Amino acid sequence: MAVSAIDVRYSGPMNAVFDEENKLARWLEVEAALAMAHAELGDIPREAATEIARKANVRAVKLERAKEIESQVGHDMMAVVKALSEKCAGGAGGFVHLGATSYDIEDTATALIFRDALALYEKRLAALKKTLMRQAALHKHTVCIGRTHGQHAVPTTYGLKFAVWACEVDRHLERLGEARKRILVGKMTGAVGTMATFGNNAFRLQASVMKLLGLKPVLASTQVIQRDRHAEIISLLSLSACTCEKIAKEIRNLQRTEIMEVAEPFGKTQVGSSTMPHKRNPHKSERVCSLARVVRSGLQVAMENIALEHERDLTNSANERIIFPESFILTDYVLAQTTEIVSGLEFFPERIACNLKMSRGLVMAERLMVLLTRKGMNRQEAHELLREASRRAIKNKVHLKAELSADPGVLKYLSPAEIGEAFKEESYVGKAVEIVERALKSLS
């Protein structure tokens, strides 16, 4: 029976990358590469290496058997070594794990697991980016009110919102490309990193193992690969989750009853509340925000794992069994959910237009200030004039246009027609459309 929600509620293709059988398969893959590298150097008989490689898979070495041995010896790696050794014929089992320490196998295998996980992660990022770009293109002319500090500011467009998010996701893809060279590394350096057990050909052996596995060898290590590498990948996952949280939080706010400009997709038979039949809660977006907090929490642990004692201690081991699969699986789920939400967003044009006009022209004060300055008024004087006019408009509950049209100081510089023209919110979005088009071109 499953205990963790990542095994049931938030599971996906990433789960298979981190399940116990795949972990065993990757450990065995590294053991096979080690044996073949030894054979190439003449350290062990070629036939022994071939036999080890032939049996180093989960078809021959069963997870159940490895666990049975582990219950007796209390060491998971030694259990795998014994389980593989007993499957090898002709004395080949005696050469399994030759010269290696546990983390030569485990850390190198973790890099193999990360390689598969990062490939899935990259696909999720690419899918979200594509969805955001599509919405940016569709809504580059959809003018809405922009908000700062929770207050109406000046007009913007929904296309620009989506373009900003798409650019952010693109940076995650860029970061991923840069991080791979630091993440996808393996080691064969022994108990404290000196390679003493591998003899004079140690560098050649390590290079051969990594070539077989498609990884880069570390330049230097202790008994473990240094954990700054692992913290970097958890950091990247956390950044991605934070971007999804940003998107989801904006959707949640825009779906508030008082705003209701957009709403996340809601099925015809979907229930919003067990007691309030009318509710249409943004629960998918809320779930994204909730899970992003969990992903970020793993980063704190990963950072603390960097400062291991001397050539290593075991304080990283137990928590990495949790934070590695949890961070990847939850980030995968969050990215998939965010893509689904953005793809199915429902827009309410009437509410968008209503909110744009809600302030009775106050959101155009900036435009009038700039226009007066261009006509010759001192910029600071123009700012003060618009500030006082805005205060009067709010107090008198009238449109700002009415206040300015009755102000001799304004009429000295602007005609009534110019004042009226300046209050067309839809025409005050600057280069927003061009910004979106330039971003889409760059991101394509």
Q: What is the mean pLDDT of residues 300-322?
A: 96
Q: 144 φ, ψ to 5°?
A: -145, 175
Q: What is the mean pLDDT of residues 65-79?
A: 96
Those residues with Cβ within 8 angstroms of residue 61's Cβ, 6 or more apart along the chain or in another chain: 24, 28, 55, 80, 83, 84, 87
* pLDDT > 80? residue 413: yes
* pLDDT > 90? residue 378: yes
**pLDDT at 161 (0 to 100):** 98
How many CB atoms are closer than 10 A to CB 406? 12
- 333 to 12, 13, 206, 255, 292: CA distances (angstroms): 7, 9, 36, 22, 10
- CA–CA gap between residue 414 and residue 91 (Å, rounded): 97
**pLDDT at 271 (0 to 100):** 80
Active site residues: 149, 273
How many CB atoms are closer than 10 A to CB 83? 25
Helices marked H in 184-313 — which ranges? 202-213, 228-254, 283-304
Instruction: Tell me the pLDDT band of 3, cut-offs 50, 70 and 90.
Output: confident
Percent of the chain with pLDDT over 90: 94
Residue 63 near residue 20, CB atoms below 8 Å: yes
Residue with tokens 């009853």: 257
Q: 211-239, pLDDT tens digit by residue?
A: 999 999 999 999 999 999 999 999 999 99
User: How many CA atoms are closer than 13 Å to the CA of 38, on its beta-carbon side?
Assistant: 27
* pLDDT > 80? residue 2: no
Percent of the chain with pLDDT over 70: 100
Spell out the domain ranges in the chain.
12-95, 102-265+279-354, 362-422
**pLDDT at 307 (0 to 100):** 97
Q: 346-375, pLDDT tens digit by residue?
A: 999 999 999 999 999 999 999 999 999 999
* pLDDT > 90? residue 269: no
89 - beta bridge partners? none
* pLDDT > 80? residue 267: no
Instruction: Tell me the pLDDT band of 279, cut-offs 50, 70 and 90.
Output: confident
> What CATH homologous superfamily does 102-265+279-354 map to?
Fumarase/aspartase (Central domain) (1.20.200.10)
Q: 419-440, pLDDT tens digit by residue?
A: 999 999 999 999 999 999 999 9
- CA–CA gap between residue 89 and residue 51 (Å, rounded): 7
Instruction: Tell me the pLDDT band of 173, cut-offs 50, 70 and 90.
Output: very high
**pLDDT at 178 (0 to 100):** 96
3-state secondary structure of 148: strand
**pLDDT at 280 (0 to 100):** 87
In CATH terms, is domain 362-422 a member of 3.40.50.300?
A: no
Residue 63 near residue 21, CB atoms below 8 Å: yes
3-state secondary structure of 353: helix
Instruction: Tell me the pLDDT band of 185, cut-offs 50, 70 and 90.
Output: very high
Instruction: Tell me the pLDDT band of 155, cut-offs 50, 70 and 90.
Output: very high
- CA–CA gap between residue 382 and residue 374 (Å, rounded): 10
3-state secondary structure of 372: helix
Q: At CA 37, angle to CA 43 and CA 198, rounded to 5?
A: 55
- CA–CA gap between residue 90 and residue 77 (Å, rounded): 23
Residues 386-401: b if buried by 16+ CB within 10 A, e if exposed? beebbeebeeeeebbb
**pLDDT at 437 (0 to 100):** 98
Strand 346-347 relative to strand 262-263: parallel, antiparallel, unpaired?
Answer: antiparallel
- Label residue 116 exposed, middle or buried (CB < 10 Å: 0-12, 13-18, 19+): middle
- Report domain 12-95's class: mainly alpha
Find, among 387, 371, 350, 388, the residue nearest to 424 by Cα.
371
**pLDDT at 327 (0 to 100):** 97
- Label residue 70 exposed, middle or buried (CB < 10 Å: 0-12, 13-18, 19+): middle
Find, among 61, 64, 58, the residue nearest to 81 by Cα.
61
Q: What is the mean pLDDT of the chain?
A: 96
Find, among 300, 298, 343, the residue nearest to 321 by Cα.
298
